[in-house]
Structure 1
Amino acid sequence: MKRYRLSRQIALSMGMVVVIAILMVFVGSFIFYTFYLTWFPPPPGPPPVLPEGPDFALIAVFLLVGLAIAIRVALGLARRILAPLNSLAESARKIAAGDLTARAAAGDRSLGETAQLVDDFNAMAQRLQDVAEAMASWNAATAHELRTPLTILRGRLQGLTEGVFAPSDDLLRNLLSQVEGLSRLVDDLRIVTLSDSRRLEVRLEPTDLAMEVSQAVDAMRPALTEAGFSIEMIVQPATLSCDGTRLRQALLALLENARRYAMPGRIKVLLRPEKSGITLSVEDEGPGLSSEFAPLAFDAFTRAEPSRSRQFGGSGLGLSVVRAIAEAHGGRAQYRTSLAGGSIFEIVLPIGSARPAET
């Protein structure tokens, strides 16, 4: 978009008024004096130095006509300028009153600055509406995820107090499992929320990533083996200034995601140093993500198969936590399909891009 359109139009409009006034004075004076001198010839002798009565009358007429033209041009330009500004003010009042769907009309788009102002306002209003809708959806999803474990806890505890259930080690372990699930859910929510507000910070220190990867795989190996998976590790030595605990948490989330959704088979964990950074990936043997769901895989509370997530206790936050941790290190989380049709989830970490935590 060209800049300074409004100022140029104002200058052109005022210049047009001046040109019209000059032409009126020149042409009008020529015509007036032609007829005047024909009907009223001047007396013999030198012409008067100062204007006389007819001259003042002519100047007054031209001033009035020029003033009328200037007022008409100014009013037309003012209407064109004020129309989008009035629309913007009215939309701002509606948004302040709670109507986030209100939008302003740009009107005459030849007025570049006002049109750009209205476009920016509408973009801001749309962003505000999107944030409000996302917040409402987030609150509803959070309440839904918290309701199930809380309902279970309340029911079991109420059964204990009323004597419906007899205290036992299995029952207490089940209650403890629900509490641990709530703790993980709250921690995941905290990480994702801090990431969305760009306040998730990491503690940077030189970290042996190969050791962190090995520890995470060893922690998940029993559960993966029980679910019918075998693990292949291709881990090259790599040291990076990063938050090892957070990265281990991200890898655990990727392995847990594979346990829930992938077909039993081989899981390949790869740590590959490169010149620009380090890539950590988890590859399974399928079935992979659909083309419709793949772009949403790292969004909070999204699930490719809700029934399986409920079966394994998923909250839809695992991959969003992975993305949050990757972005806190200045990197990114991404998905692609393997040559065999399986899923490859990658964490790409650049060197020296993470945001250090405040102490």
Structure 2
Amino acid sequence: MSAITVIAGLLVFFGTYLAYMAIVTLYPTPEPDGWLTSTDLAILGTLILVTLPIAAMVSMRLAGRILEPLESLAWSARRITAGDLTARASAGDRSLGETAGLIDDFNTMAQRLEDMAADMALWNATIAHELRTPLTILKGRLQGMIDGVFEPDERSLQGLILQVDGLARLVEDLRTVTLADSGHLDLRIEPIRLAQEIAQMAELMAHDLLAKGFRLELDLADLVVDADATRIRQALLALVTNARRHAAAGRITIRLAEDDGEILLGVADEGPGLSPEMASRVFDPFVRGDPAGPREPGGNGLGLSVVRAIVEAHGGRLRYRSAPGGGALFEMILVKTKRSPAAHDA
């Protein structure tokens, strides 16, 4: 608006001055005794009356070009405030770069809000679906016991406890993913000998894996990593459990190595791996793959989402690629912390 005002003022001043000089040159008048004659004043007044409307028209057109996208922005903001997340502002002819940039940023924000609302609605519907199945089973079994249809024996009670455990795992996984997305996942970072932690955990898992037809192999470099040991174990257990559910019986390899300043912690199986379509969305919540054989009941579809949340909370990333033997390889990539020689010796 300041630029418009300056342009209009310069247009009036120089336009009037140039026109006055042209008239005086074409129709000279005797030298006046004073500064301006009445003829001069009449000429200047006439020119000002002509140039002022022109300057006002130019200013109004420029102001209109500025105000039109801003009014669209204000109208769209009011619609979004009222709950219509589909509202978008129009940038007009985009000749005003700053205004067009503001409109684009606003529309990007509005689109993200709409996507977030849609994701939240889908998330809530999926959570309700996941909770409904175990709750329905629990209610049906308990009602059957009350009506005398089922005997409250040890087997029936164990089945109910399994359903409760499934609900507890679902709630904890949802809590982990939600806390990580909001940046409030509690981590207790400290130096840990990661190979030692993995070896202890593998010893506890080996028997159950062997009963399912799997053998666990370790390829561990002796590395010290700044991480939350509990969360890393949780993520590693989720990856091994995922391989047990979806891979063919055989070898599961846990590998810990350092590569170009990064710590690689990977879990690989012997197949069949993931299809390209599944690989592109395998880390999305509630995405399930088909098991390779008659395994235990499938998870809640949050396992890999939990792993990704934990790894990203550590400042790393999670990736999938095909294993050398054709199976699936999930790698947690953590940034190696640089240590001083004194700290390393300690």
* TM-score where L is the length of structure 1: 0.87
Query: 1-side partners of 2:54 and 2:37: how far apart?
Result: 26
Displacement of 1:24: 4.1
Aligned 1:255-274 pairs, distance under 5 A:
255-274=240-259
Of the candidates 128, 131, 135, which is equivalent to residue 146 of structure 1?
A: 131
Q: Is the 8 A contact 2:322 2:329 kept in 1?
A: yes
Give the aligned residue type for 1:272.
Answer: A
Aligned 1:1-359 pairs, distance under 5 A:
10=3, 14-15=6-7, 18-19=10-11, 21-31=13-23, 34-35=26-27, 37=29, 42=30, 47-274=32-259, 276-305=261-290, 312-352=297-337
Query: 2-side partners of 1:281 and 1:305: how far apart?
Result: 21
Q: Is the 8 A contact 1:160 1:167 kept in 2?
A: yes
Q: Is the 8 A contact 2:256 2:263 kept in 1?
A: yes
Displacement of 1:237: 2.0
- Cα deviation digits, residues 74-130 of structure 1 (max 9, x gap): 001011001110111111111111110111011121211110110110011011111
Structural RMSD (CA):
2.4
Displacement of 1:33: 6.1
Displacement of 1:36: 6.7
Paired residue secondary structure (2:252): strand
- Cα deviation digits, residues 26-67 of structure 1 (max 9, x gap): 334433563474xxxx4xxx6322322222111111111121
Displacement of 1:270: 0.7
Query: 1-side partners of 2:10 and 2:48: how far apart?
Result: 12
Displacement of 1:242: 1.6
Paired residue secondary structure (1:312): coil
Displacement of 1:267: 1.1
Paired residue secondary structure (2:253): strand
With over 3 angstroms needed to count, the CA separation of the structure-2 counterparts of 1:79 and 1:170, relative to structure 1, is same
Q: Is the 8 A contact 1:301 1:315 kept in 2?
A: yes
Give the aligned residue type for 1:143.
Answer: A
- Cα deviation digits, residues 231-267 of structure 1 (max 9, x gap): 2111222222321111111111001100111111211
* TM-score where L is the length of structure 2: 0.90
With over 3 angstroms needed to count, the CA separation of the structure-2 counterparts of 1:306 and 1:84, relative to structure 1, is farther
Displacement of 1:316: 0.6
Moved more, 89-98 or 224-233: 224-233
Give the aligned residue type for 1:305.
Answer: D
Paired residue secondary structure (1:292): helix
Moved more, 207-216 or 19-28: 19-28
Q: List gaps (5 residues or longer) in structure 2.
A: 339-346
Q: Is the 8 A contact 1:220 1:255 kept in 2?
A: no
Query: 1-side partners of 2:64 and 2:113: how far apart?
Result: 29
Q: Is the 8 A contact 2:248 2:292 kept in 1?
A: no
Moved more, 52-61 or 269-278: 269-278
Give the aligned residue type for 1:177.
Answer: L
What number of residue pairs does the alignment pair up?
338
Displacement of 1:222: 3.0
Q: Is the 8 A contact 1:17 1:66 kept in 2?
A: no
Equivalent residue number for residue 356 of structure 1: none
With over 3 angstroms needed to count, the CA separation of the structure-2 counterparts of 1:102 and 1:160, relative to structure 1, is same
Query: 2-side partners of 1:126 and 1:309: how far apart?
Result: 43
Query: 1-side partners of 2:115 and 2:262: how far apart?
Result: 34
Displacement of 1:223: 3.1
Identity %: 51
Give the aligned residue type for 1:148.
Answer: T
Q: Is the 8 A contact 1:217 1:252 kept in 2?
A: no
The structure 1 segments of at least 4 consecutive aligned residues displaced by more than 6 Å after TM superposition are: 306-311
